[in-house]
Amino acid sequence: MPRLVLAGLPFRTLYQRDKSFEHYFNTSYPGWTATVQWSERQASLAESWEELKPLIASLGGAGERDGEDGLHILAFHSDIGSRQKYRAELMPYHRLRFLDTALMREWGRPPFRHSIDVAVAFEALWREHIRPTTNSHPLLLPAEHFRMTQTSRLLWQRSAEPQSEADIADIAASLMSFCNECLFEQEYCDLDGNRFQYKGPFHAQPQGRDDWRFTYRMPNGFHYDVQPPVGKQKVSVSGRSFNDYVNAYPNGLLRTKPP
């Protein structure tokens, strides 16, 4: 079951004014494990982040199952300049969405609950149409090593931060078109003809957050066996040529034997 966290709400300002919302959030979203992670005095992830770190680190351990659902954080964080720091730590492994801090003025009133309900519904829509559910999903590909059009390359960024329901629909259609153009049986072919095969076997220990992409838990050691274009002996990836195997991992790591 996916984990849903509402984070960064200032405890002293809001909780003492209305204690009911925490129970509402924890119990009102079937299909989610939902919790509130408070900050102390202001809308900030800085304080709650230290408490979120153990949860993030625990995901992807040896006890997790392939395909396990990941973490969705809906965050109130007033310092816009530092938001990128948290994006870099959490994405593209899990989901992080910043909410408008002005919404806190509605705390304890129906507009606040409605806005959170809408945000959770948006996350559910993202899961339905964009989130990977199998090892064949294109968003697991290491985009930096798979040569494609610039329009296709932008799909990784767009999938991480869609802006609207219409955007989600457009991204889903674009991902389907990408598969129709590049996916053949159990391999993706890039513009150079390199064949990224994902059938396994995979052999490695859990890697923590690198076992995750877009809240999808990949098998331990998941990677692509990159084969040369049909009729050629060498693989050329990211400007480098190899005459032996090339394993490409979703996090961009290449495991190779140079020529």
pLDDT digits 0-9 by tens, 40-98: 888 999 888 888 888 777 765 444 455 578 899 999 999 999 999 999 989 989 999 99
Residue 196 has pLDDT above 50, yes or no: yes
DSSP track, the chain: --EEEEEEEEIIIIITT--HHHHHHHHS-TTSEEEEEEESSSS-HHHHHHHHHHHHHHTTSTTPPTT-B-EEEEEE---GGGHHHHHHHHTTTSEEEEEPGGGGGGTTSHHHHHHHHHHHHHHHHHHHHTS--STT-GGGS-TTTS---HHHHHHHHHHHS--SHHHHHHHHHHHHHHHHHHEETTEEE-TT--EEE----------GGGGEETTEEPPTT--EEEEPPTT-S-EEETTEEESS-EEE-TTS-EEE---
> Tokens at residue 239, please?
């400007």
pLDDT digits 0-9 by tens, 106-130: 988 899 999 999 999 999 999 999 9
pLDDT digits 0-9 by tens, 200-252: 888 766 566 788 999 999 988 899 999 999 999 888 898 888 877 789 999 99
Q: What is the mean pLDDT of residues 140-148?
A: 96
Residue with tokens 């153009």: 181
Q: How far apart are CA 40 and CA 43, in angstroms?
A: 8
User: Other C-beta atoms within 10 Å of 193: how many?
Assistant: 15
Q: How far apart are CA 108 and CA 19, in angstroms?
A: 9
> Tokens at residue 249, please?
């991992």
pTM: 0.91
Band of residue 5 on the pLDDT scale cut at 50, 70, 90 = very high
Q: Beta strands 235-237 and 240-242: pairing type?
A: antiparallel
The structural domains of the chain, with segments of one domain joined by +, span 3-129, 138-256
Q: How far apart are CA 65 and CA 196, in angstroms?
A: 24
Radius of gyration of the chain (CA): 20
